[in-house]
Amino acid sequence: MGFFKHLRIRRPGPGRPWPPGRLALALQGGGSFGAFTWGALERLLEEEAISFDAISGASAGAVNAVLLASGLASGGRDGARKILDDFWTHVSHPNLFLPIARLPLDFMTKALTPYQFNPFDLNPLRDALNAHVDFELLRKANGPKLLIGATRISDAGLRIFSRDELTVDCVLASACLPLLQHSVEINGEHYWDGGYVANPPLTPLVVKTEASTVLIIQISPKRADIVPRSRADIERRIDQINFCSTLDREIDAIRQLAPLCAAGDSSGKWARLRLDRIAAENEVEALAQQSAGNLSWSFVSKLRDAGRAAAEGWIAQEA
C-alpha cells in the first residue's frame, strides 16, 4: 500500500503522520547538478519533525551525503546547513579548477588520459572536502547511517563505504570520473565513480534503514527533448542515460522484492515502504541540455533554489 509503483506521491494510510518523522535519503550523482540536492537538503533541515535515519549517495550524491552528516555531527541542523552552503560556495569559485584546466576539456579527454594531462593527480575536490569535512569526527559521531557507493574497476562491482570507515579517498572514489581523474586506490583496490553501478545505492539503503519512507533526490535528467547531434551532446546524453538506468533497475528490483520481504518482516517496514522522488528535471527547464560541469554561481544558485522549491512541495503536498 505504501510502495509507489510509479513513484508518485500518494497520501499515507490513516493515522500515518506527514511529514515522516524518520526519513532515508538516496542522493543521485550528476556533477554540478548536485546543487539541486543542496537546496533540497537545506529545506529538509528546516523541518524539525524530520530526522535522517540513513543516507546513500554516489558521486555528487556522496559528497552531499557526507557534507550533511558531517554538518549534523559538528553543529546540528544549523551546522549542516552551513557546511553545505560553504562547500558549494567554495566549489563555484571561478578559479578553483584552473590548475587542471589549462587545456581545452574536449582536447584533454579525447587526446590524452588524466595520467598524461594531470600526472600529479591534482584534485581540487580533495582540498574542498578536507577544508569542510572533519572525517575523524564523522567516523566517531552518532548520526545517520551512510552508504557511499563506488565502482570497483577489477570486477565492475559495487563497493559500499560505511560511516565508520569513511575517508576523503572514499568520497573521491565515489566521484572519480575516469576520463578526468586518476582512479582512487583504497587498500589495494582501484575505484571509479559509483554512479556507473548504483546511482545512488538504493537497494542497500532500503535494506539498511529502519525508516519506511525513502526519498530519492534525482538530479541526472531522464528525459531529453532534443536529439543530440554534436559529439559533446551525444556523450553527455549517454552519461545521463547510464546514470538514470542504474536507478531505474534498482527501483524495479525493489518493486519485485518488497512484497516478498513484507511477508516475512515482523517490523512491518517493508509493508509500509514508501518510495518518493523529487527530480531536478521537473524543476529546471531543459536540464538535459545543460553541462554538469558548469559550476558558475548563477547556475549553482539556480539549482539550489529549484531544489528548495521541490522539497517544499514534497513536504507541503500532504499537509
Q: What digits encode the pLDDT tens for the residues 241-262?
A: 988 888 998 998 898 888 888 8
pLDDT, average across residues 157-175: 97
15 belongs to a structural domain: no
Q: Where are the beta strands (DSSP E) in the chain?
A: 22-27, 51-58, 145-152, 158-162, 184-186, 189-193, 213-218, 274-279
The CATH code of the domain that includes 172 is 3.40.1090.10
10 belongs to a structural domain: no
194 belongs to a structural domain: yes
> For residues 148 and 59, what is the distance between their CA atoms, to the nearest angstrom?
9
> For residues 253 and 257, what is the distance between their CA atoms, to the nearest angstrom?
6
Q: What residues are labeled active site?
A: 59, 193
pLDDT, average across residues 138-154: 97
303 belongs to a structural domain: yes
35 belongs to a structural domain: yes
> Grid coordinates in use for 167?
575517508
Q: Please identify which residue in the block is written with the cell numbers 525513502.
A: 214
**What is the full DSSP assignment across 98-157?**
GGG-SS-HHHHHHH--HHHH-TT---HHHHHHHHH--HHHHHHS---EEEEEEEETTT--
> For residues 250 and 28, what is the distance between their CA atoms, to the nearest angstrom?
12
Q: Write out the residue range of the structural domain in which residue 298 sits.
A: 24-93+131-221+235-317
pLDDT, average across residues 18-45: 96
Q: Please identify which residue in the block is written with the cell numbers 587526446.
A: 111
Partners of 151 in beta bridges: 158, 192
> What's the structural domain count of the chain?
1
100 belongs to a structural domain: no
Confidence class for position 109, pLDDT limits 50, 70, 90: low
170 belongs to a structural domain: yes
